[in-house]
Amino acid sequence: MKCPRCQQENPPQATFCLECATPPAPRCANCGTQLPAGPKFCFECATPVSASRSGPRLASPEAYTPKHLAERIINSTAAVEGGGAENGGSVNRPFVVSTLQLPK
């Protein structure tokens, strides 16, 4: 199997090129066909390559934001929206704030 980067001939069981350590050409997750570099779909079964090659997309912020940090963000957002105590409790400034739901 030839390396797509340096053209080194590698054994079929190699998980990286013996010469440049590049991973071998991707294979379709559905049918196992070896794919050329950069395809969007498998040319044998039309399975999207991005779904077969890339891992799961990043989860929403709620999934990976630590609870203590989420609480600080929510509390500071409430203070900004309300103007905070130092501003008499209300300030008429336009703020765009997204809400963060805390995991239960």
Q: What is the DSSP string of the chain?
A: -B-TTT--B--TT-SS-TTT-PPPPPB-TTT--B--SS-SB-TTT--BHHHHHS-PPPPPHHHHS-HHHHHHHHHHHHHHHHT-GGGTT-----------PPP-
Q: How many domains does the chain have?
A: 1
Question: What is the extent of the structural domain holding 102?
Answer: 58-104
pLDDT in tens, the chain (104 residues): 788 788 899 898 888 889 988 887 778 889 888 888 788 899 999 999 874 444 455 667 777 778 888 888 888 877 676 655 555 555 455 554 455 555 55
Cα angle value 51/54/55 (rounded, 5°): 105
φ and ψ at 91, to 5 degrees?
-135, 135
- Reported pTM: 0.33
